[in-house]
Amino acid sequence: MLSWSVLCKPTTERIWNRVRRDRETGIPGRLMALTEEPTREELETWAIQIGFDPVRYIMAWVCLAEEEWAKANISGTQNQAEASRKDWAMTHFAPLRTPIRPSIESAGEHPRFSLLAPGGSGKLPNQELRPKSCRAALRELLGGSQAVAPLALSIMPFMVTFGLLTRAAGLSIWIALGMTMVIFAGSAQLLAVQMLLGGAPGALIVAASGTMNLRHTLWSASIAPHLRHLSLLWRLLLAYFLTDEVALLSIRHYEQSGCRKKRHWFMLGAGLVEWVAAQVSAALGSLLGTQIPANWHLDFTATLTFIALLVLALKDRTSILAACLAGAMVLLAGGLPLRLGFLGAVLFSLLVGMALDARAAHHQEEPICRSGS
Amino acid sequence: MPIWFLIGVLGVTTYGERILFLLGKRWVLPSRIEKALRLVPPIVLAAIVAPALFVGAPGVGFPLHVAIAGAVAAVVTLWRKQVLPTVMSGLVVLWLLDWIKL
């Protein structure tokens, strides 16, 4: 069993870092003047909004504030501002006046906590918060599954094609399902089965699918800033669901404004729905076998889905230019083995996009310089 | 190579490629690169779509019917801003073009 301190420490450290940052930059939605600390209610609302336990958050806030006051007193600059800060502490946090060491690991167990909560129970904030944050998580989960539904539906025929191909390659339904479960990357699976049908050696199949899937590393890098705050378990879980569609939807969802704390549930919901859709359609394709004629072009649905996502992803001039360049490059480099053309085209376009960004930033700076001189 | 071993290796490489940047918590990319990562979706998607639309099966030339269906699908996306209408229209156009033997 994990000990309490192991479970608790990362959370506590995260709160300390957050509070340190918030004390420097101020709480959004509230213009914090230097002479004035926020009220307890404001701190509480803010802590709930960013998903921290309000009691612990406020505790850390007060400790840091006290450290600052102590420093100011030592250097002998107790002016009006300092006096008003002390007033603030006296009125709102009288029970917490004496400094508490930041090294307390299980702040939640500290006896002084009971004094903070109205009514003195010490449990109130937690009990009130749980259902609320649960509901937020559920809302995100459902939102994610709803958002991915049309995409999953469009990908299903593609996965049916995969099932058909496994049948054609003489593989059983269990292998088709196992592949979908273990790999969970439609295009790589299709490529692998096609190569198996063509009698390619295993090492070559691994190399080709590997280079093809390197784009997932790019998705991973793109979504990493949004998932950095999550625990390792969450990140390990979400990495499994990081397909093209899920990554795209989640990045777009994270870029919207509002509280981001529970948005990883959105990603989980999207991933789960797509996972189920992939399993069902792979099994369907394997069972139906050769009963679906080839001229139905079911595999074309994946391309069509990507066309829709591409058009929706083109937002500014740089992205349109980069996308056109990537398309042209991949067509020119199509003859290279192991899908290396794909990788080269993507990386080259990314570099050109960076250069375009740098140029755009340079052009934006110029008028400011002129107006300044 | 036994098929299950192959599947396992493929699964491990795919998962490894997905987890790579999620593993390190303190692994922060330079801001210039992080800003350029917003270009990843359009670039990757364009690189997937272009060969599917403009390169035919081996031995067959330029697949005109596929390209036309793709173009129609793109226009429908611009119009409706949704995925399902795009997929349906593209598929129907492809069937029609097949039917009139273009």
pLDDT tens, residue by residue, A125-155: 444 444 556 778 888 889 999 989 988 888 8
Among A213, A323, A329, beta carbon nearest to B42:
A323
Angstrom distance (rounded) from CA B15 to CA A37: 47
- What type of residue is A201? P
- Percentage of chain B beyond pLDDT 70 is 90
CB pair distance less than 8 Å for B37 and A218: yes
**Mean pLDDT calculated for residue range B78-86:** 84
**Mutation target vs A (from B10, B31, B53, B88; most A CBs, 10 A cutoff):** B10
Taking the Cβ of residue A322 and every Cβ of chain B, the question of whether any pair is shorter than 8 Å is answered with yes
The DSSP output letter for A28 is T
pLDDT at A324 over 90: yes
pLDDT value at position A137?
84
User: Min CA distance, B60 vs chain A (Å)?
Assistant: 15
pLDDT at A241 over 60: yes
Query: What does the block give as tokens for B92?
Result: 């129907």
Higher pLDDT, A53 or A257: A53
pLDDT score recorded for residue A153: 86
A194 has a chain B CB within 8 A of its CB = no
pLDDT at A101: 40
Distance between CA atoms of residues A266 and A147, nearest Å: 9
The confidence score (pLDDT) of residue A110 equals 42
Tell if the CB–CB gap between B43 and A240 is shorter than 8 Å: no
- Which residue in chain A is spatially nearest to B7 when comparing CA positions? A179
Q: Do A300 and B78 touch (CB under 8 A)?
A: no
Return residues 173-192 of A near B (CB < 8 Å): 175, 178-179, 182-185, 187-188, 192
Q: Judged by CB atoms within 8 Å, which residues 68-87 of A form the interface with B?
A: none
Q: B79 to chain A: which residues are within 8 Å by CB?
A: none
**With the C-alpha atoms ordered B8, B9, B14, B18, is the resulting torsion angle positive or negative?**
positive
pLDDT higher than 90, residue B37 = no
Angstrom distance (rounded) from CA A62 to CA A98:
10
If pLDDT is split at 50, 70 and 90, which confidence band does A11 have?
low
Q: Is A294 on the interface with B (CB under 8 A)?
A: no
User: A311 contacts in B (CB within 8 Å)?
Assistant: 74, 77-78, 86
Average pLDDT over residues A241-259: 84
Q: What is d(CA A177, CA B79) in angstroms, rounded to the nearest whole number?
A: 37
Q: Is pLDDT above 80 for A171?
A: yes
Give the integer Cα–Cα distance in Å for A317 and A356. Answer: 10
Find chain A residues with C-beta within 8 A of B1's C-beta: 201-202
Residue with tokens 């990386």: A347
- What is the C-alpha separation between A153 and A89, in angstroms, rounded? 57
Taking only the tens place, the pLDDT of each residue in A257-296 is 666 778 889 999 999 999 999 999 999 988 887 777 777 7
Position A370 confidence tier, pLDDT thresholds 50, 70, 90: very low
* Per-residue model confidence (pLDDT) at position A87: 61
At position A322, the amino acid (one-letter code) is A
Query: Residue B65 has what pLDDT?
Result: 86
Find chain A residues with C-beta within 8 A of B84's C-beta.
150, 153-154
Coarse DSSP helix, strand, coil percentages of chain B, rounded to the nearest 5 percent: 75, 0, 25
Given a contact cutoff of 8 angstroms between Cβ atoms, the answer to whether B102 and B65 are in contact is yes
Size of interface A-B (CB pairs under 8 A): 235
Per-residue pLDDT reduced to its tens digit, A102-130: 333 344 444 444 344 344 444 434 444 44
Q: Percent of chain A at pLDDT above 90? A: 15
Percent of chain A with pLDDT over 70: 72
The lowest-confidence range among A30-44, A219-233, B1-15, B28-42 is A30-44
- Length of chain B, in residues: 102
Q: Is the pLDDT of residue B71 over 90?
A: yes
- In this predicted structure, what is the pLDDT of residue A364? 64
What global pTM score does this model have? 0.64
Contact: B6, A219; criterion CB under 8 Å: no
Q: In this predicted model, which residue has the larger pLDDT, B28 or A111?
A: B28
pLDDT at B7 over 70: yes
| pLDDT, tens digit, 9 for 90 and up, residues A180-206 | 999 998 888 888 887 787 777 788 788
Q: Which residue has the tokens 């506590």?
A: A12
Burial class of residue A1 (count of CB atoms within 10 Å of its CB; 0-12, 13-18, 19+):
exposed
Q: Which residue of B has its CA nearest to A182?
A: B11
Which distant-in-sequence residues (6+ apart) come within 8 Å of B101 by Cβ? none
The chain B residue lying nearest A304, using CA atoms, is B87
pLDDT at residue A102 in the model: 39
**Is A329 part of the contact surface with chain B (CB cutoff 8 Å)?**
yes
Instruction: Among A183, A248, A297, select the one facing B41 at the smallest CB separation.
Output: A248
The Cα–Cα gap between A358 and B75 comes to: 31
* Average pLDDT over chain A, rounded to an integer: 75
Question: Which tops the pLDDT comparison, A25 or A370?
Answer: A25
